[in-house]
Structure formats: structure tokens, C-alpha cells
């Protein structure tokens, strides 16, 4: 094991060997194996936004098999999806790439200003389907936070008992936050801290903007001159907010956008000490060859030392 | 086993042999046995709409025994009903036709714009009564979706542990949807995707109209020219939305209507690649001989290659 | 076993022998033993309406012992009461009359337009107290129906596992129903159907009036000319609505009234094919000798072939 | 065992010997031992009203040890208190007086017109701490009655399984009741009936006034001329309402008041057939010697035949 | 064991030896070991207020390792933190200082006038991570008090079963209380009483002001001339309110303030018989050397006899 991986694993030394093994598998898999960086393919948009909105741009994506193959062919570290998708591919691709079972999902057919996803899969599902990790979304800022944090407490405890890795998607939302505030740097940093305190091994947040949402926080950012002017600086602050960098924090890409824009974002994430990216719509909504080429470019950025 | 059945079963290869056996039984039973198509007789209308509204047109239907006999005599693939009805017929007709225990039901005596059915039977009931499957209704779009999805998560996990098939009735409803939106093609496709992600083996939806409900979806349907002009095209889109056709999606008939109208609908479902129909009021509200004749005509459509 | 009893038991043949034994005990007990008819003494009015309103007319009734003796002396089929009352008499009268433990009760001190009773006893209580059956009230039409139906699902399953009979009091109530609608013939028939579907062995409803509450139902009653002019006709329709007569449906008497009025009602219930009555206030609010005489007259009506 | 005690125990003969033993201990303990009467010292006012309001008049009472000693020294039948207090004294005074663990408590820092106490101790706590009984407060009339009654159902069942006595404090309260109605004679009698039906062995109510709260009840009290003019008559009516005297009903004293007033109340309770008193603030808010003297006077009243 | 420690442990003699051992460890650890006083370092502000607001003044504090080292180097009695932090340090610092796992936490991203924290860790977590105690926050005065008190009832029972110490942070808050009322002396004393009754071994409250919040309480404070003029007097009253001093009550420091101000507060707490302090932001927001010096000064105050 190289020093980088040894260092990362040292942050989790309280965990069972089962969990360490699965975390090691994710860290060592694919083209970024052993670099301490990771890129993950998440495909829960069919559930969260609807099938046509997710897959019409590249109809091959209606098939869950397409995604696991894409993740394998691109040499990514892991693939995350809800129960139904994982069920479809788990046996055939068992062992070929670490799988993250997304254990809760929201739907876009009803609206809730303080959203709370449905828990749609369990640790038992993850174990019987051979997954390496369980994934869970929390919405810090929702008045329903108590229920979500207690759900993940139970799922995380059971996951750790059984040697799984716990991945938390920490996406601030709720009636107390402005739309802009959902990606404000103070709020994203806070979201990373909460995920870390809830016991996550891997934390996924959105790239933060330079907006500051909370009045009490603004005073502190100004008084202590915390640098948040560039995305790299903000990424560095978010990573620091997750136990001073002792948790793996990765960043999502959001809605599909121009290739150059994404590449620039990745460079800044890397510069800021982010541990990697989770690239969904920006990969699977492109034709496969283009997606592979694009993902390769991203991986190369992370591979540079 | 013929190639068609082999292919269908291959989509479910992550499941226990117990579940595969029961799915196989349903696929091989009755006149459509081995075709990969299926027609099911569901009788939960006594609970959902009241007894007189359901059975007065053909009073034999007050007796649960009538329905199981009708399903057997017509050569259908399976019969679905709530606990009380299944209890009445389970011992006498054990083994003669696969039974689907409907595990939740709504009632029409109270009104809820965001409905949520009562869970009225359990996996233990299904097992002790010798059923092949458990049936469950979800209402995507209801603000109560979290509770329903979590109920089916638990029931489905227990069902799969015990070798049962999981059938989800996915009927969009709720205060965020217009009445027309409940059968809009984008909404029905979304409902099929959700049922698939929740781990359903069989999915039942309503035949979609060409209405598009959600603004974000409309843009996508227009941009990518998704064909939804004919029922056959819409059925094809819905089937595609359930893992690119790797889940068995069948279509309900709705309120009793003219024979020709139903037949035309069935032809379109077949042309669009639908896996079959679930025919309730359109069969049991007709006198038995007429119902048998009518169901036979439907079965013949599905039998044609 | 005579043919009548054999036929009735044949409707429940899916049940465990333990449940059949207890149902048989109820059917064979008292003066109506073996006739297929039954009269039951229920005393939960102290809980539901308060002690003085229930027992002041005949203060002997404050004592639970009075009621079990009355039921035994009158030769009734069974006695139903809440936990406290049953606890008081269970040991002393063990075996002398089948006991039905009323497992939930409402109180009259608070008002809820959509009532939901408290579950105040358990199957374990029924078993340790030697009861033959568990009794449960549902209020179809209450917006809280989901919770009630799920409570009885669990209690009924546990009861059947342990060889008890399940009795459902099905009393429509709720903010969507008019006061008149609570006893409307369409609503009472619907209530009987729901109780049957929930898995009840015995169903208790109120004698229906000729009012029709639901608009969609009215159309059907008119179109198919369902006869509901006399109480006998309405009773017949309600019994038909409970699996075409394959469930034991009995009728309650409601508030105390004139002797002639009750007798006339009983005659109509019998003529309509009802399986018997549950006579509470009309018996225990009369002095004991008068009550015995009155109950005897009722039993005689049911005994006539 | 004398005839009085034999008679009382005969009302509970359905219970396990463990429960009978604990009930016997309470009935035989202290100066009233064997008389069939009882006086209990309850100290939950620190939790319910705050420490200064409860203990400032006699600061020794801040210490839970003070109370158990007071109860022992006065020769009372039992001492009731919440978890923390019982934990403080259980080991040192084990066996010296029967202890009643108060399993739920309300607090006065927040206001709820339909109150519902927090369940703050369990049967397991009562068992590990060597208690003879579990105490539980219900508020009949609260719209939250369902939850309270179901909590006590579970706790009572577990208590009886494990040989404990069940004591219910039945205090009507809630938004449907007037302040005066909380102690109205019809309401207190109803509260006693509910506690009895919920399976209480000992019932504690407040001394009723001659107010009648419920319209339907008033008609009955007038029609049947139920005597409620004196406290003794009202106590008699309440005791009758608890299974015609077959449950031990005791009466609380309420806020501290003049000695003569309390003594007069006790005399009336005794005359009306009440089984005793539960004296809290009226004893522990007096200096110890005065309290002992005062309690002695009360005990003497109950000792007279 | 010296007399002071013997006396303190005597208040908890009903507990299992496992709990006594852990309490002994806390009492004997660090520079205050054996004095009967304690100072604890709590670090849950990252979760409760956000990372930048908590750690920007001294960025070393972003790392959970910094805090446990600070607590060890300063010779404190124990260190308290949420799950994620404890997970990070538990293995490396196992045995070097008693750890208190904070089992619930609030977040500042949403606002609730009647707050209720999320339960984010369990007794199983505390045991597997080698903690000596479980910490839990309650908000007396919140309309949600029932849920919080029931959560701690279950956690405390499980903790005691497994030999852990139970620490309750009792912070009055809620829509019935004024902002000033949250630290009013009557309210803080009440909060200490509630924590004691809920079974806490260690109670943490805020230093009370001389404000009196509740009308009924004010009358009592005036009538009995309870001295609350100085902080020392108020501390004495609060300690008295926790079983007359038979529970360990410690006081928090609140937001960072001037050194002199804190020192003066500590002196008064000591003079009033408080058992110690819990010093968070006032220590970790200072540079380490300054914090160690400052904590040393505090410890010295408590060490003086």
C-alpha cells in the first residue's frame, strides 16, 4: 500500500476491517486506483427527476446496464444507484466495480419546501447485492433534519457493523435557506461538517459559490479573512471543515454543462485539495464514446501530481 | 424453457430461486403461458369503491369464489385480491392459479387529496395463504410518498427473502398533479421508473394519454422529439422508462367500457411492447359467459406473434 | 356437527384449527347453539359513554360480574367487554361462556370528527384471560382509517396465529359522512365489505336505513334496482356485501328503546338473513328478570326455522 | 389473612401471584396494614411544578431521602416518585416500604391544552429498583388520549407479566373540558371507570365536586336522582363507577390547604367508601414533626371502623 | 478512595459496578482527580453552530485530534464530542482520557422555536468506541419535551445496563419561555431537577441569572426569601434543586468572553458548591498555549479547598 492510501486509511482506523477493505477497494479501483483521488458515476436521476429528463439525451441510459458498463469502461472508482438499478446489474457485474447502493431518494412529482427523501433500500439489500457502500442523502437546513439524521444514524451503524462504507450526499435545502444559500460557501462547509459528525466515510457536496448565507457566519468569515474568492479556495475551506481534511470530500457536477466549464471546475477542485468528483448527467447524457473521452480528461487531471 | 421466458427471467437473476419459481409460475400459467405476456384478474374494487358499485352489475361477483373461478376458467395468469377475499378461496383453490395478495387498499368513504392506502395484509399472510406474489399500490405525487415507499421497501425485502414476487400498482395522484396529469405520458413513465427503482418485479400502470404534465418534462419531450402520438408509442415509452424494457410492465383497463374500445386499447398495448393487461371491472361486471368470451378475445391478441 | 354449522365453518376453512374451535364454541354455545344464529352481550358502554349514562338505569350493571352472569343465564352465545371488565370475571367464569376481549375503545370526553379508538388490550391479554375472540372497532370514513386498518391487520394476524376468532365492529363515521350517512344502506354495506376484506370472522354493523349517502352509489342502486325499502331487504343487501353471505354478519341494537320496536327489528334482521344480534343497552339497562324475558323472546325469534 | 384483605384480593384473582404478592405488601404495610385502607406519599411535584414551588416551604424536601423516611416514619403504605428520586433511595431503603415508580411525568415549563406526559421510566427500571408497582398518569378528555391509553396498555401488560401492581392517576383534562369540569362528579366517575377498564389495580382520582360537566350525563343524574350533594355521596358514586367497588380507588389532596379542611375531606372520603388517600404537598410541605402528627391524624380516621 | 469521592459515589449506589467504575474514572482523571470537582472539554459547536463560527478563531480546532490532545494536555477530567469526532480519535487515544459521546445534536441551519435535537449516536456506538459516558441534550420548555425525555429514557436505561455514565445537558428553550427566561434562576433550577429525575448522573446547566420567569415561581421565591442575588447563591440553589446536592451539577461557560469574566464566574460557581465547569469555546478558540494556561488557572480555583 502506498503512503497516500495508508494516510487516508489511517483516518478511519476505528472502523472494522470489513469497512476498511471496502474503502480500500474503492480507493484502489480504476484508473485513479492508488492516487487517493476518486471519480464516481451516480445514476439516481431517473428516480429524482424522471426518466425522460434524465435519459432522453442519450436513450441508452434507460438501461441500468449501460451505466455500470460506462463506469467500468471509463475506469472509475465506483458506481452508485438506487435499489432497482443495482438489482438489475448486481449479479452480472459482481466484483467488477465497487457498487454504492443509494438508500434514499426524493421524487419530483410532489413539492416540499423542507424535503425529506424516502428510504428505499436497506443495509440488508446492500449486503445481499454485494455492494461496497451505502449512500444516503441528507438535506441540512430542512425542518425535517431530525428524521433524516436519525435514519442515517441507524443505517450507518448497521452498515459499519457489517463492514460497509457510508457515503453521505449532503445537500443543504429547506425553507430557512435562500435558493442561493444552498450552495453558499458557509452552508456547504457546514454541510460537510454535519456529514462528518454523522459518521460518513465519504462526503459528497456541491461546489460552493462565494455567497455567504448566514449572518453570524458572515461576521466570522470577514473577521478572520477566510479566503473564499476562488473555487479552489472554497474547496479548501470545505475540505478543512470536514475534520481538517481527514474525511474524503468529493464534489458533484450538477446539471449537464459545457465541457470546458466542467474541466475548469475539476481543476479548481483538485487545486483546492478536493478528493474527487461524482459525475452523473455530465457523463451519461453524452454519447458513450464522447463520455469516455470526457471522463478520461477528468481522470487525467486528478492523476497529475 | 423457451427463449422468451429465459430472457425475461434473466432480468431478475439477482433474485432467490423462490422468487424466480413464483415468477415462472405466473409466466407459464394459463393460455398465455410461455408467451411472455400475461393477463391478470384483480378484484379489489369492493374495498376501493364499495360493493354495490363493483358487483351490482353482475351480482355473482359479491362472492370471492366467483372471481377465482372466472380467472381459472378464462385461463388467465394470476388473480389478485385483498386479504379477506384471498382467505375465502386460498385453501380450496390452492395451486390452481397463482394468487397475488393485495397488501394495501384505499377506501372511498373519506377523501384525501394526497392519498395513502392502508396496509391491510402482510408477507406472512401471503405465505400462509400460499400466494405467489404480494401486490402493493403506490401513489407517486402524493406528499405522503415517503411513507408508501418505505412501506413497500420493507414488504418487498421481506417478500424477496421469502421467495415471493413483488407487484407494484403505480398510480400517480396528489395535490401537485392535475386530474389529467394522473395519466399524462410523462407522469406514467415516471411512475413506471419509480416502481422499477423500488424493486418491483411486475409493474402495473394506467394507459397513458398524450398529455404532458410537468413543465421541465415537456421541454425534453419536445427537444428530443419523443413520439407520444399513439397509445402504442406511449406504451413503448413507458416500457422503455422501466429499465429499457427489463421489467414486466402491464396496463390496467380502468372503468368498464365498450368492448371494442377495450380491444383497441389492448391491440395498442401489444403493439407498443406492453407485457399484458390487468382486467378487472371490464371482465367481472359482465355476465360470466360474456366475460369468458371477451377475455378470450383479449388473450388471442396477446397470443399472436 | 349439523349441516348448518358445517356450512358456516366451511367459509373459514383456511384458518387454523384453534380458530375453528373457538368459532365452533361460539356457534354451539347457549340457546342458539347449533342454529347458526347468535346473540352476544357487549358491555363497553362504561368506557365509551361513561358509567352513569350506561348503568344508572340498572345499577347492578356497575359490576362486570353482573353482565357475564346475565349472558350466561340468558343463554347467549358470547359476552364482549374491555380489558378491565374481562380481567374481573375471567378466572371465575372461565369456560362458562365464550369471551370476546374488546381490544380498542373510544371515550366521550373529547370530540374528534374523525375518531380513532385507543387500542387498550392485546392478543396476549386475550390469550392469558382465556378469551375465544378479540373484538375491534373500525370507523370507515374517518380520515384516520389507515391507522385503524393497520392496527387490526396486526392484531388479526396475531390472533389467527394463536387460534382466536376476530370480530370487527364496523361503524362508519368521519368528517366526510353526514350523520344520516353513518347508517345509510350503501355505507353500511360498504362497511361490511371492508370488515370482511380486513379478515374478520364475525362482523357487527348497525341496522341500515334506506338513506343512500354516496352519489356514485346512488346511481348504481337506482340503475340496478337494488331493493332497500324494508329493513329485511337492507339486511339482505348488507349480508350479500360481506362475501355473498360467507361471513357471519350480526346487527347491533343501538340506544335502548321500546321492546316492541326491538322485537320488530329482530324479526326483520332474521327475515333478511342476518346471523344474529348484539344486544347491549337494551338488555342490561332493564332489570334482570325483564332482561332475561326480553332476551328469551329475541332468542325464540332466531330459533324459529 | 383477614376477611377484608381476602375480599380485596379476590377482585384481582386473575392476576399472577407476583402481582398479588406486591398488592398484598402494599395493603399490609404501615399503620393501615390489614385494614383495607391505604395512605400513600407521592412526590413528583418537583418534576411537575418545579423544585422551589414544591420544596421551598420545607427545604428538607429537596432531598429524595427525606420523603422515603417520612413515609416510613409516618407508617404509610407506599411511596411514589419518578425515576431519579427512586434511584437515589432504592438500594438503601430496599424492602422498608413498597415503592411505586412513577413512569410518566408532565412539566410546567410548556403549556398544552391537551396535555400528554412524557414516559420517563420503564417496567425494567421498576424491576431493577425493586419497586412493588408502576404508576402512570392519564388525562381522560385530552385529544391525545389514544396515545396515553396505548402507552399504559403496554406498560401494564409488561408490569403484570412481571408481577408488578399497576396504579393509574386518572386526571381529566383537555380542550373539551372546562376547568371546573376537571373535577366534576360525572367526569371523575368516568375517569375512574376508564382507569378500571384500562386494567388498573389501584386508581387515584381527585375528590369530585357537585358540578356536572356533560350534558348527556346531567340528564341521567337528574332522571335517576343520583345523590351527589355531599363529598361522601360523590365518593360513593365514584367508587361504584369503578366496577361497583371492586377496584381500590383512592383520592388525592391537591394543593396544600388548612389542616381542618383536609381532615374534613378525609372523613368524607372514608364515609363514602373511598379506600384511602394520597397525600403529597399537604404532608411534605409541613415541617416533619407537624407532618407526622398530621398524617397520624389522617391514618386514625381510616383506622376507625 | 478518599472521603469526598466515597461520598459522591454513595449517591449512585443503585447503579451497576460498570457505571460506578466509569464515574470513578471521570472523577479521578486529570489534575482535579480525587477532588470531587471536574472540568470537561465539550466540542460539539461544529455541529451546533457551524465549523467556521467554531474553529476560525483557532483553525487547529478543525481537527478533532486537536481537542482530545488539548483536554489531555490540560489535565481535564473528560472530553465530549459527537460521533464523527469521537470516531476519529477513539482508537488512538483509547484510555488516555474518559470520552463522553454526545448522542444528540441540533443544527443552526433551520429554526424551530421549540427545538428538538436529532439523535445522532447510540449506546452501541459509545460502547464500541470505548467511551465512559453518553451525553444528551434536553430542552425543558419545548413543546416537544415528551419526545426528548422518552429518547433519553431509552438511551439512559441502555447505558446503565451497559455500565456507562449518563450526562444530561439541560438547556431550557421553547415558545413558552422568553429569551431571558432560558437562564432565569427558577428555570435553570427546574431544568436541573428534571435532568435529575430523568436519571442523569452528571447534569450540565448554564449559569443562572437573577431573573425569575414563571409567575407561580416568583411568589414562592419571594415568600420564602430564597437568596438569588449573587451567582454563588444561584448556583447553590440550582445544586440544591438537584436532589439537595446529591447529583453532580456542572456549569457551562457559553460564548467566548474575557478571561477575567470567566475566572470570576468560576469562582462564584465554586463558592456556590458547583461541581465544576464545562469549558468549550473559551478554551479551544484560544491558541493552545494560552488555552492551557487559562484552563490551568481554572483548575487551580477548583483545586483550592
pLDDT values of chain A reduced to their tens digit, one per residue, 305 residues: 899 999 999 999 999 999 999 999 999 999 999 999 999 999 999 999 999 999 999 999 999 999 999 999 999 999 999 999 999 999 999 999 999 999 999 999 998 999 999 999 999 999 999 999 999 999 999 999 999 999 999 999 999 999 999 999 999 999 999 999 999 999 999 999 999 999 999 999 999 999 999 999 999 999 999 999 999 999 999 999 999 999 999 999 767 678 999 999 999 999 999 999 999 999 999 999 999 999 999 999 999 86
Helix (H, G, I), strand (E, B) or coil at A167: strand
Q: pLDDT tens-digit profile of B8-22?
A: 999 999 999 999 999
Q: Residue D239 corresponds to which cell in the numbers above? A: 367508587
Distances (CA, A) of C36 to A104, B88, B193, C165: 53, 19, 52, 16
Instruction: State the average pLDDT for chain D.
Output: 96
Facing residue for D63 by CB, picked from E153, E216, E243: E243
Helical segments of chain E, H only? 3-10, 17-28, 45-49, 51-55, 64-74, 83-89, 123-128, 145-161, 185-197, 215-223, 231-241, 259-271, 281-284, 288-303
- This prediction has a pTM of 0.96
Contact flag C190-B125 (C-beta cutoff 8 Å): no
Active site residues of E: 204
Contact flag D14-C87 (C-beta cutoff 8 Å): yes
Fill in the DSSP letter of residue A199. Answer: T
CA separation for the pair E203, E196 (Å, rounded): 7
Facing residue for E119 by CB, picked from A153, A186, A197: A153
Number of domains in chain B: 1
CA dihedral E236, E241, E246, E251 (to 10 degrees): -60
Facing residue for A120 by CB, picked from B153, B217, B224: B153
Distances (CA, A) of E153 to D90, E107, E160, E195: 18, 22, 11, 11
In 3D space, the residue among B269, B304, B303 whose CA is nearest the CA of residue B75 turns out to be B303
Distance from CA of D47 to the nearest CA of E (A): 6
Range E61-82 average pLDDT: 98
Q: What residue has cell string 381500590?
A: D248
Q: Which residues contact C133 (CB under 8 A, 6 or more apart)?
A: C22, C26, C78, C80, C98, C99, C100, C101, C126, C159, C164, C165, C166, C167, C201, C202
Evaluate whether chains B and A are touching (3 or more beta carbon pairs less than 8 Å apart). Answer: yes
Contact flag D62-E114 (C-beta cutoff 8 Å): no
Dump the DSSP string for E8-71.
HHHTTTTS-HHHHHHHHHHHHSSTTTTTT-EEEEE--HHHHH-HHHHHTTSGGGGSHHHHHHHH
Fill in the DSSP letter of residue A41. Answer: E
Q: Tell me the β-bridge partners of C99.
A: C79
The active-site residue, picked from D204, D219, D223, D267, is: D204
Q: What is the pLDDT of residue E257?
A: 76
In 3D space, the residue among D192, D218, D216, D220 whose CA is nearest the CA of residue D206 turns out to be D192
Evaluate whether chains E and C are touching (3 or more beta carbon pairs less than 8 Å apart). Answer: no
Contact (CB, 8 A) for D33 and D1:
no
Helical segments of chain B, H only? 3-10, 17-28, 45-49, 51-55, 64-74, 83-89, 123-128, 145-161, 185-197, 215-223, 231-241, 259-271, 281-284, 288-303
Contact (CB, 8 A) for B251 and B287:
no
Q: Any idea what the CATH number is for the domain that residue A61 is in?
A: 3.20.20.70
| Shortest CA distance from A10: residue in chain E | E88
Distance from CA of B240 to the nearest CA of A (A): 7
Contact flag C59-D240 (C-beta cutoff 8 Å): yes
Subunit partners of chain B (3 or more CB pairs within 8 A): A, C
Q: pLDDT tens-digit profile of C196-243?
A: 999 999 999 999 999 999 999 999 999 999 999 999 999 999 999 999
Would residue D204 show up in a list of annotated catalytic residues for this protein? Answer: yes
Q: Residue C264 corresponds to which cell in the numbers above? A: 320488530
| Position C254 confidence tier, pLDDT thresholds 50, 70, 90 | low
CA separation for the pair A239, A247 (Å, rounded): 8
Contact (CB, 8 A) for A221 and E54:
no
Distances (CA, A) of C168 to C196, C267, D146: 9, 23, 19
Q: Label each residue of chain C as H, E or C.
A: CCHHHHHHHHCCCCCCHHHHHHHHHHHHCCCCCCCCCEEEEECCHHHHHCHHHHHCCCHHHHCHHHHHHHHHHHCCCEEEECHHHHHHHCCCCCCCCCEEEECEECCCCCCCCCCCCEECCCHHHHHHCCCCEEEEEECCCCCCHHHHHHHHHHHHHHHHHCCCEEEEEECCCCCCCCCHHHHEHHHHHHHHHHHHHCCCCEEEECCCECCCCCHHHHHHHHHCCCCCCCHHHHHHHHHHHCCCCCCEEEEECCCCCCHHHHHHHHHHHHHCCCCEEECCHHHHCCCHHHHHHHHHHHHHHHHCC
One digit per residue, the tens of pLDDT, for chain B of length 305 reads 899 999 999 999 999 999 999 999 999 999 999 999 999 999 999 999 999 999 999 999 999 999 999 999 999 999 999 999 999 999 999 999 999 999 999 999 998 999 999 999 999 999 999 999 999 999 999 999 999 999 999 999 999 999 999 999 999 999 999 999 999 999 999 999 999 999 999 999 999 999 999 999 999 999 999 999 999 999 999 999 999 999 999 999 767 678 999 999 999 999 999 999 999 999 999 999 999 999 999 999 999 86
Fill in the DSSP letter of residue A170. Answer: E
Facing residue for A118 by CB, picked from B141, B150, B214: B150
Contact (CB, 8 A) for A35 and A2:
no
CB pairs under 8 A between A and B: 131
The active-site residue, picked from A204, A219, A257, A270, is: A204
Neighbour count for residue D167 (Cβ, 10 Å): 31
CA separation for the pair C198, C190 (Å, rounded): 12
Contact (CB, 8 A) for E244 and D62:
yes
| Position D254 confidence tier, pLDDT thresholds 50, 70, 90 | low
In 3D space, the residue among B260, B266, B195, B272 whose CA is nearest the CA of residue B32 turns out to be B266
Q: Residue B206 corresponds to which cell in the numbers above? A: 394506467
The active-site residue, picked from B204, B206, B267, B300, is: B204
Helix (H, G, I), strand (E, B) or coil at A276: strand
Sequence-distant contacts of A11-14: CB under 8 A, at least 24 apart: A11/A243, A11/A246, A11/A247, A11/E88, A12/A201, A13/E91, A13/E92, A14/E87, A14/E88, A14/E90, A14/E91, A14/E129
Per CB-CB distance under 8 Å, the chain E contacts of A226 are 52, 56
Which phi and psi (to 5°) does residue D236 adopt?
Answer: -60, -45
Q: What is the pLDDT of residue A1?
A: 87
Q: pLDDT tens-digit profile of D160-193?
A: 999 999 999 999 999 999 999 999 999 999 999 9
The active-site residue, picked from C102, C204, C206, C270, is: C204
Q: What is the pLDDT of residue D52?
A: 97
Contact flag D119-E216 (C-beta cutoff 8 Å): no
In 3D space, the residue among A180, A116, A122, A126 whose CA is nearest the CA of residue A155 turns out to be A122
Range of the domain at C88: 3-303
Per CB-CB distance under 8 Å, the chain A contacts of E122 are 153, 157
Question: Which residue in A18, A116, A136, A146 has the most chain E C-beta atoms within 10 A of its own C-beta, making it the best mutation to test that interface?
Answer: A146
Contact (CB, 8 A) for A62 and A51:
yes
Q: pLDDT tens-digit profile of E241-256?
A: 999 999 999 999 767 6
Range E264-281 average pLDDT: 96
Range D117-142 average pLDDT: 98
CA separation for the pair B293, D141 (Å, rounded): 60
Amino acid at each position: 500500500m502506498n503512503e497516500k492510501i495508508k494516510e487516508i486509511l489511517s483516518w478511519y482506523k476505528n472502523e472494522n476491517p470489513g469497512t476498511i477493505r471496502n474503502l480500500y477497494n474503492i480507493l484502489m479501483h480504476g484508473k485513479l486506483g492508488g492516487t487517493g483521488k476518486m471519480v464516481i458515476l451516480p445514476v439516481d436521476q431517473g428516480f429524482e427527476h424522471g426518466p425522460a429528463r434524465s435519459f432522453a439525451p442519450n436513450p441508452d441510459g434507460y438501461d441500468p446496464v449501460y451505466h455500470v458498463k460506462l463506469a467500468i469502461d471509463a475506469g472509475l472508482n465506483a458506481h452508485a444507484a438506487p435499489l432497482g438499478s443495482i438489482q438489475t446489474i448486481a449479479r452480472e457485474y459482481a466484483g467488477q466495480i465497487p457498487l454504492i447502493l443509494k438508500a434514499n431518494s426524493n421524487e419530483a412529482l410532489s413539492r416540499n419546501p423542507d424535503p425529506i427523501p424516502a428510504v428505499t433500500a436497506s443495509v440488508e439489500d446492500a449486503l445481499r447485492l454485494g455492494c461496497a457502500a451505502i449512500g444516503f442523502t441528507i438535506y441540512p437546513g430542512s425542518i425535517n433534519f431530525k428524521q433524516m439524521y436519525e435514519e442515517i444514524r441507524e443505517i450507518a451503524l448497521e452498515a459499519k457493523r457489517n463492514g460497509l462504507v457510508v457515503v453521505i450526499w449532503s445537500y443543504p435545502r429547506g425553507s430557512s435557506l435562500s435558493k442561493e444559500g444552498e450552495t453558499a460557501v458557509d452552508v456547504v462547509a457546514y454541510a460537510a461538517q454535519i456529514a462528518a459528525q454523522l459518521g460518513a466515510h465519504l462526503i459528497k457536496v456541491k461546489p460552493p459559490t462565494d455567497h455567504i448565507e448566514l449572518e453570524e457566519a458572515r461576521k466570522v468569515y470577514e473577521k478572520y479573512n477566510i479566503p473564499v474568492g476562488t473555487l479552489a479556495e472554497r474547496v479548501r475551506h470545505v475540505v478543512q471543515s470536514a475534520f481538517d481534511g481527514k474525511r474524503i470530500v468529493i464534489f458533484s457536477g450538477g446539471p449537464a454543462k459545457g465541457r470546458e466549464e466542467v474541466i475548469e471546475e475539476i481543476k479548481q477542485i483538485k487545486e483546492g485539495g478536493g478528493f474527487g468528483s461524482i459525475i452523473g448527467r455530465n457523463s451519461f447524457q453524452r454519447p458513450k464514446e464522447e463520455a469516455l473521452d470526457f471522463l478520461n480528461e477528468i481522470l487525467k487531471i486528478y492523476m497529475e501530481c
